[in-house]
Amino acid sequence: MISRNLCPVLLSLVTFAVTLTTSSLVLGPNATQPCVCLQLKLTTKKALAMLEEHGGAGRFFLMEQRGVVYSFSSELSGQKLFVNMTSLIEYDADVADERGLLSIALHPRFSENGKFYTYSIRKFNNVQYAYVTELQEVFGRVDVSREKLIMVIQQHNVTRNGGQLLFGNDGYLYIFVGDGGLRSTAQNMSSLLGKVLRIDTDHAEVADNLIRYYSIPSDNPDVSGLREIYAWGFRNPWRCSLDIGSTRGDIYCGDLGEGAQDEINLIQKGHNYGWDIKEGAICNNHPCNMTGLEGDPIFTYNHSKGPAAVIGGYVYRGPSIQNLTGRYLFADMFSKNFLYTLKNSSGGQWEENHLYYCDPGVCPCHARESVGEDYLVSFSQDRKGEVYLLTTKSFTGRSTDDRILKLVSPNHDFTVCQASSHFSLWTTISSVVISLAVQALSKNYFHIL
């Protein structure tokens, strides 16, 4: 999923170094800069997705990498087990595993037909595959043994699995597949690896005398290769989303680079996004033949400051933080004190700004969490357009108090929150202690300089 094949020990060393150099910034810069507050919504175990049902009971679904999906009421309470696929999938909670259950997508008419789709890494005859499957909720129950295999794609390694599923405005299922650990696959049009695929899950088809539980949309691009391919040239697309406020149905994607740059792409039909000829805007092969690489990233950033792993997010469409409307929010797993925002300026240029986490003192009393040293691994968006951060305490799957944090507008009124319970009293005291400690630390830090 996230890391760039670094072994866990190296990762933790690097993490330690990153922690040291950024500790004076954990609470964000100062109150005069645009910033956003964080409200704790749920505590989980390495959740990689949270979705809200459209219509029906308006439930939320929370997907954990180990293979479990829970349902919640529309108020995010009343947790119930929805699906348990742990026995089917490959996932090792003791290491920084990129496999597991990586995505679920609800059918656009899920509240009527109960159908949803999963993307997971599994083993068959000791070979690893990305499985795309269809499951169905019938009378409140999901029978995993009745899942339908939509697509099975062989992987060449345990990393670069891609793993996003989403339904576009057109009602088709988009599947974002990594290069599977073999870089030559992304430009190979006979391979499904390193591609964005688009299929119609509502119409089965007979192909090579076998029933296939999807068909190819008639307007898929003509790529002289596999007809599922919608766009190509990806290394490891991690977190792609549909802009729910765009009538055109814009889809944004983060794509993790190898060693130099990470990128954000706006996915267009029939475009080649360049991997492994180029990475971000940088050429990989010399001399570089850029002919036909029309999929230019809308944003790239260098890895010059150490480890990096882009986490694609969402275009903010919520009613509560007006300054963020229409901005694409994303993050880097190793940049812990800010989010990136991209805005399409009038000239068609993409303008990037950092959005910091507010000092808790300027936040509403219910929204005074900080990301601290946790890692952001994914984002979520509800039907209103509000955005949530999915964070984890460790690269392994062993922490049980990973958090889902909702972005909330600051109120800048500097009120001291009432201690309505031991918990909030503790939060208030600890935030004061932490900010004093951070101030002391940053003073020391500057003394040393």
Is residue 56 at the binding interface for ligand NAG, with CB under 6 A as the rule? Answer: no
- Report the Cα–Cα distance between both ends of the chain, in Å, rounded: 38
Residue (of 96, 89, 42, 94) closest to 66 by Cα position: 89
- Segment interacting with ligand NAG, rule: CB under 6 A, options 29-37, 40-48, 194-202, 334-342: 29-37
In whole angstroms, give the CA distance from residue 227 to residue 215.
10
Torsion over CA: 293, 265, 166, 150 (sign):
positive
In whole angstroms, give the CA distance from residue 62 to residue 44.
9
- The residue type found at 325 is T
**Six token digits for residue 310:** 């882009």
- Segment interacting with ligand NAG, rule: CB under 6 A, options 98-106, 130-138, 186-194, 390-398: 186-194
When binding is defined by CB under 6 A, the residue of 125, 126, 145, 190 that contacts ligand NAG is 190
When binding is defined by CB under 6 A, the residue of 19, 33, 415, 439 that contacts ligand NAG is 33
- To the nearest whole angstrom, how small is the minimum distance from the Cβ of residue 135 to ligand NAG? 15
Is residue 420 at the binding interface for ligand NAG, with CB under 6 A as the rule? Answer: no
Give 22's Cβ-side CA count (13 Å radius).
Answer: 21
Q: Kindly identify the residues of this chain, within the stretch 262-301, that bind ligand NAG according to CB under 6 A.
A: 266, 282, 289, 291-292
- Measured from each CB, the residue nearest to ligand NAG is 34
Is residue 169 at the binding interface for ligand NAG, with CB under 6 A as the rule? Answer: no
Is residue 179 at the binding interface for ligand NAG, with CB under 6 A as the rule? Answer: no
Element (H, E) at 424: helix 422-448
When binding is defined by CB under 6 A, the residue of 18, 25, 40, 260 that contacts ligand NAG is 260
- The position carrying tokens 């040293």 is 373
DSSP string, 432-447: HHHHHHHHHHHHHHHH
Is residue 304 at the binding interface for ligand NAG, with CB under 6 A as the rule? Answer: yes
Cβ–Cβ under 8 Å, residues 235 and 257: yes
Q: Which is nearer to ligand NAG, 157 or 435 (CB)?
A: 157
Q: Which is nearer to ligand NAG, 8 or 58 (CB)?
A: 8
User: How many angstroms separate the Cα of 82 from the Cα of each of 51, 142, 143, 390, 398?
Assistant: 13, 7, 10, 19, 21
In whole angstroms, give the CA distance from residue 137 to residue 343.
39
When binding is defined by CB under 6 A, the residue of 302, 353, 400, 444 that contacts ligand NAG is 302
Is residue 348 at the binding interface for ligand NAG, with CB under 6 A as the rule? Answer: yes
When binding is defined by CB under 6 A, the residue of 14, 22, 25, 29 that contacts ligand NAG is 29
When binding is defined by CB under 6 A, the residue of 323, 400, 415, 439 that contacts ligand NAG is 323
Cβ–Cβ under 8 Å, residues 370 and 435: no
Site string for ligand NAG, 215-254 (x = CB under 6 A): -----------------------------------x----
Is residue 155 at the binding interface for ligand NAG, with CB under 6 A as the rule? Answer: no
- To the nearest whole angstrom, how small is the minimum distance from the Cβ of residue 207 to ligand NAG? 16
Residue (of 17, 26, 55, 11) closest to 374 by Cα position: 26
Q: Which is nearer to ligand NAG, 33 or 73 (CB)?
A: 33
User: How many angstroms separate the Cα of 136 from the Cα of each of 58, 106, 109, 143?
Assistant: 17, 10, 12, 7
Is residue 5 at the binding interface for ligand NAG, with CB under 6 A as the rule? Answer: yes
Cβ-based neighbours of 446, under 8 Å, separated by 6 or more = none
Q: Which is nearer to ligand NAG, 377 or 408 (CB)?
A: 408
Q: Which is nearer to ligand NAG, 107 or 252 (CB)?
A: 252
Is residue 344 at the binding interface for ligand NAG, with CB under 6 A as the rule? Answer: yes
Q: Which is nearer to ligand NAG, 109 or 156 (CB)?
A: 156
In whole angstroms, give the CA distance from residue 433 to residue 175.
46
Using CA atoms of 398, 15, 30, 429 in order, give the dihedral in degrees to the nearest 10: 40
Which stretches of the chain bind ligand NAG, using CB under 6 A? 5, 29-30, 32-34, 68, 81, 84, 86-87, 156-157, 159, 181, 184, 188, 190-191, 250, 260, 266, 282, 289, 291-292, 302, 304, 323, 344, 346, 348
